[in-house]
């Protein structure tokens, strides 16, 4: 299927793909997310997905496709699992960096808060549900706030899976792969998720993604 809701912060035109710059300095999120975490997470992990994708595309007839088209065309295609995994991880990470802000966290205002109240009964309920999703994703994956038909929902996805293949518009995500938090929080994923919600989440970016 075609991806309905393009997000130009995460999508990129075509091969060869580039590692996007972080939308903040690597020490701007300290002490909540360290420059060391970002140097590995952005500089090594995200960079590796970009490099792997470019290497796989060197021998592929999909070179002219945009990142979102690649994700959509290779989803559930057993012959192209490598391209899907790396393309989706490039998209997910490019989107994730914008979900973080040096002045982030806490309770949003305005339209995004109204929609959260409508969809989850209260901001506190939203936080509870988002934290539950992020902490109960078994192994590697992502927790997402999504929009479809003017309603918000929360889902978790495993590994590289991304809900944009299911017709949802991504509003916000939290990377819950161990590489996202292990250097700062070791095995304490719940503390990382609390820090994401209380100190880091970029509600202005989330609101800018609403349809």
Residue closer to Fe ion by CB (options 74, 89) is: 89
Number of residues in the chain: 211
Minimum CB–partner distance for residue 64 and Fe ion (Å): 27
Minimum CB–partner distance for residue 96 and Fe ion (Å): 7
- Determine contact, residues 202/98, Cβ cutoff 8 Å: yes
Nearest to 74 by CA among 61, 63, 85, 64: 85
Residue closer to Fe ion by CB (options 180, 193) is: 180
Minimum CB–partner distance for residue 76 and Fe ion (Å): 22
- Could you list the residues that contact Fe ion (CB under 5 A)? 175, 177, 180
Residue closer to Fe ion by CB (options 4, 45) is: 45
Minimum CB–partner distance for residue 44 and Fe ion (Å): 10
Q: Indicate the residue whose CB is closest to Fe ion.
A: 175
Query: Residue 117 and residue 125: Cα distance in Å, rounded?
Result: 9
Query: Residue 3 and residue 98: Cα distance in Å, rounded?
Result: 20
- Determine contact, residues 64/14, Cβ cutoff 8 Å: yes
Residue closer to Fe ion by CB (options 45, 148) is: 45
Cα angle 37, 98, 10; round to 5? 110
């Amino acid at each position: 299927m075609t991806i309905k809701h393009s997000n130009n912060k995460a999508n990129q035109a075509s091969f060869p793909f580039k590692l996007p710059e972080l939308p903040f300095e690597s020490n701007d999120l300290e002490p909540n997310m360290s420059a060391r975490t970002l140097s590995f997470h952005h500089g090594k992990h995200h960079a590796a997905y970009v490099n792997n994708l470019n290497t796989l595309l060197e021998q592929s007839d999909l070179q002219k496709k945009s990142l979102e088209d690649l994700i959509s065309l290779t989803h559930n295609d057993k012959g192209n699992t490598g391209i899907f995994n790396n393309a989706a991880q490039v998209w997910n990470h490019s989107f994730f960096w914008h979900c973080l802000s040096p002045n982030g966290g806490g309770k949003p205002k305005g339209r995004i808060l109204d929609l959260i109240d409508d969809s989850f009964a209260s901001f506190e309920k939203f936080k509870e549900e988002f934290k539950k999703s992020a902490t109960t994703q078994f192994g590697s994956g992502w927790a997402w706030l999504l929009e479809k038909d003017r309603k918000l929902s929360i889902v978790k996805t495993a590994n590289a899976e991304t809900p944009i293949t299911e017709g949802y518009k991504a509003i916000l995500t939290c990377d819950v792969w161990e590489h996202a938090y292990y250097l700062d929080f070791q095995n304490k994923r719940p503390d990382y998720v609390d820090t994401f919600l209380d100190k880091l989440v970029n509600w202005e970016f989330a609101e800018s993604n609403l349809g």
